[in-house]
A and B are shown apart, each in its own frame.
Chain A
Amino acid sequence: MIFYIKQFFYAFACTVGFAVIFNTPKSSLIKSGLAGAFGWSVYLIINQFTGSIVLSSFMASLCIGFVGEIFAILCKNPITVYIIPGIVPLVPGFGLYNTMLSLLEKEPDKALVYGSEVLMIAISIAGALTIVLSVNSFRKKFTTKWFN
């Protein structure tokens, strides 16, 4: 339990740092940090149960998208402000770097392993975010139809 609380805090600090690098508005810094921290906790828990990086990235991105959507509705900011810093702990930037390093090292089989993992993680994160955004646009259409 102590481990998860520590990791939650680390992910929060990490995400807030990236939010400053991405010039997130001042009022949204803490919120995007929270989105990232919740996402990372979900990632850790699901990764412990299933051992699958792709599945845990998917569920974590769903969580980030959901939290980001709530903040976006509450604060009337575009959801991008919350999800771009939020997904940073999950995104496979390091894997992409490893792929390229293996290629430069003339080890194509390692590059293939890293590269396919990068692609799978990127697809799972992007798919999760697309699902959240599509559900949201459907919800907008539905509410305008229903209440007008």
Chain B
Amino acid sequence: MHQVNQKKLLVMALYAGEIMLKNGAETYRVEDTIIRLCKSRKFPFVEAYATPTGIFISVDNDGEDLNEMITYVKRIQSRSINLNKVAEVNSFSRKFVDEDMSLEEAMAQLKAIDQLLPYPLPMEAFFGGIASGFFTLLFGGNHFDLVGALITSIFITVSVNKFSKLGLNSFLTYTTGGFIAALSAIIFSYLHPLIHVDKVIIGAIMVMVPGVAITNAVRDSISGDLVSGLSRGAEALLIATSIAFGVGFVLKTWIYLTGGRLI
């Protein structure tokens, strides 16, 4: 393979890592991909360190020249889960390592991957509704609860999507989500006597609750990435608190008005 420009290669690898990390890949996979991409072009020293909030990479050649050592830092502001992009970058890195691809072409491919559109919002909202509805069935709800959770969850998915597009912080977004969940669960329970408030809330907030985040936090900690584990765990706790805040606010008000217990 021909010698490539060190700086361009580093920028390309950093971009690949950034796409993966922004879209929910594990940190060890990001580090692994960056190191593979750089090592494939014969750089003897590559070190990558990724946390959910940033990536650090250093690359060096053999020899005494100090100017050849380059380090890049990239700050990651927001994270979501888009497994399609993770899969695409993964197959891209396979191709880049196996073939003699030029850096310009690699950069163009990465840009195309970065601009892949997610599923359209109506489809996402509908499947979010399906996921929530069947979740209530898994947890012992009846078919009326399914309908309630399905409609509630469609509202939640749309509003969470719109709020995060507006650039609001996650606390406000998820508090509003919890607020909508509890409010519409109470409204549904008045519409039909067989709809349980708690079952509808359980199902509907499933599209927001950070179960996957807390599991990933423990996975990162087990594999030794303690900093990533802690920051993912903190994120999960914060999301859970904001949902509980929104739901608790509505339920408390409802209970003051009608009487009854919360948990």
Instruction: Write the residues of chain A forming the contact surface with B, with a CB cutoff of 8 angstroms.
Output: 7, 10-11, 13-25, 28, 40, 76-78, 80-81, 84-85, 87-89, 91-94, 96-105, 107, 110, 118, 122-123, 125-127, 129-130
> B243 an interface residue at 8 Å Cβ cutoff?
yes
**Which of A11, A25, A96, A123 contacts B83, CB < 8 Å?**
A25
Asked whether B262 lies within 8 Å of A105 as measured between CB atoms, the reply is yes
Asked whether A126 lies within 8 Å of B211 as measured between CB atoms, the reply is no
* CA of A76 to CA of B245, assembled, Å: 42
Asked whether A11 lies within 8 Å of B134 as measured between CB atoms, the reply is yes
Chain B interface, number of residues (Cβ within 8 angstroms): 60
Query: Given A96-B211, A96-B214, A127-B222: A80 and B86 within 8 A (CB)?
Result: yes
Asked whether A93 lies within 8 Å of B248 as measured between CB atoms, the reply is no
> B66 an interface residue at 8 Å Cβ cutoff?
no
Asked whether B263 lies within 8 Å of A98 as measured between CB atoms, the reply is yes
Asked whether A96 lies within 8 Å of B209 as measured between CB atoms, the reply is yes
Asked whether A101 lies within 8 Å of B263 as measured between CB atoms, the reply is yes
Residues in B with CB closer than 8 Å to A87 are 211-212, 215
> B29 an interface residue at 8 Å Cβ cutoff?
yes
Asked whether B134 lies within 8 Å of A23 as measured between CB atoms, the reply is no
Closest 8 CB pairs of A and B: A17-B131, A93-B211, A91-B211, A93-B209, A20-B127, A126-B218, A100-B244, A14-B134
Q: Which residue of the partner chain A has the closest CB to B262?
A: A105
* CA of A102 to CA of B10, assembled, Å: 48
Residues in A with CB closer than 8 Å to B119 are 20, 23
* CA of A89 to CA of B130, assembled, Å: 13
Instruction: Write the residues of chain B forming the contact surface with A, with a CB cutoff of 8 angstroms.
Output: 23-26, 29, 81-88, 90-91, 94, 118-119, 123-124, 127-132, 134-135, 137-139, 157, 202, 205-207, 209-212, 214-219, 221-223, 236-237, 240-241, 243-245, 247-248, 262-263
Chain B min CB distance to A132 (Å): 11
Chain B min CB distance to A36 (Å): 10
Residues in B with CB closer than 8 Å to A17 are 127-132, 134
Asked whether B209 lies within 8 Å of A97 as measured between CB atoms, the reply is yes
Chain A min CB distance to B35 (Å): 14
Residues in B with CB closer than 8 Å to A22 are 24, 81-83
Query: Given A21-B127, A88-B211: A11 and B138 within 8 A (CB)?
Result: yes
Classify the secondary structure of B's interface with A.
helix
Residues in A with CB closer than 8 Å to B248 are 101, 104-105
**Which of A20, A25, A85, A89 contacts B87, CB < 8 Å?**
A25
* CA of A8 to CA of B246, assembled, Å: 32
Residues in B with CB closer than 8 Å to A103 are 241, 244
Q: Which of A81, A118, A126 gathers most chain B CB within 10 Å?
A: A126
Q: Which of B29, B217, B218, B245 gathers most chain A CB within 10 Å?
A: B218
Given contacts A76-B94, A91-B212, 13 further A-B contacts (CB under 8 A): A10-B137, A11-B138, A14-B134, A14-B138, A17-B130, A23-B85, A78-B86, A80-B29, A85-B83, A87-B215, A103-B241, A105-B263, A122-B218
Residues in A with CB closer than 8 Å to B245 are 100, 104
Chain B min CB distance to A63 (Å): 15
Chain B min CB distance to A126 (Å): 4
Residues in A with CB closer than 8 Å to B205 are 94, 97
Residues in A with CB closer than 8 Å to B247 are 97, 101
**Which of B118, B137, B244 contacts A97, CB < 8 Å?**
B244
Q: Which of B24, B119, B135, B157 gathers most chain A CB within 10 Å?
A: B135
